[in-house]
Structure 1
Amino acid sequence: MKRVLLIAAASVSLAASALAQEPGSAPDQPLADARQEARAQALFQDVRCVVCQHESIADSPAGIAGDMRRLVREEIASGSSDAEVRADLVRRWGDYILFKPPVEPGTWLLWFGPLAALLGVGGILAWRGWKKRADTAAEAPLSPDETRRLEELLASGAVRPDPDASSSHD
């Protein structure tokens, strides 16, 4: 009896895991017109898969990528231009869907953020170097009067040696 229950539990577990997986996308049906299919293929390379995020919908095996390819083909077949197809995809999923989002105020950080960070770090390093050079330049040599006073102090023995200093003959 235990064996039957164990087999039944394992079967239910396997069936549940099989049902929990994402269903595969339907096979792609290329457009009949070769020029339209070429346009669709070019658009597939420019559009990011929302599941994989690092792959285009042309390369992604995800079900949503198949749905997006089908959507692009339908729009091209209905006479939409490439710009209209991109605009519709952006309307549905946002600028992130494009591998090359447009340059506009909402995407300035994406486009110019790395350059601004690089310039900021370079500016900080340049400022620190300038400040260090300015600090070392501020140490002017002793005046003749200061040199004479220092020689007098050293000759008179009024300067007590450091008790912790070791002899030079050690």
Structure 2
Amino acid sequence: MITVNYPISLESLKKLKNGDKILYSGKIILVTPEALKRLNKYYQLEGVPLFNFLGEIVTCGTLNLAHGEIKNIDVSKISEYFEFLFSGGTNSLIVDKISNKILNLLTMYKRPIFKTLEKTINCENSKVLFYKDIKNGGIIECWTKRHPIEIISFENYDLIGNINNA
């Protein structure tokens, strides 16, 4: 396994090959659809981003503070905000199960995606950055250590097999 630490540049990320397994240590931004809707609306009204996703790794799920983990990872819930995230500088998404529709949508952005190899992501030192009023989250910064993930590279789209966790 390859060890990768935060921050990771987009250029370094693109050097990884489809199927590479890595141990990631660093920051993950957990978002909810409601928070992205608010951020996007603010951007449309003001013309400047309220939060900068530049260089970040983003996922969507539920933060379980009692167990210190992100679970129910499902980026399909934020698919209508992919353009907003990637144009805002997001380097990659962490996915678990993903449909062919979402997989095809992600190919447009030409960025490798992280597929988690575990059902949950251990999360340390989490803090809400925006929208504490949103139930089960908002924009939350989480830190993880040595989380196993696999790279899905769209440069080798034909080599992508079943990306859903069992």
Tell me whether the two structures share a fold, i.e. TM-score over 0.5.
no
**Structure with greater strand percent:** 2
Which protein has the larger Cα radius of gyration, Structure 1 or Structure 2? 1
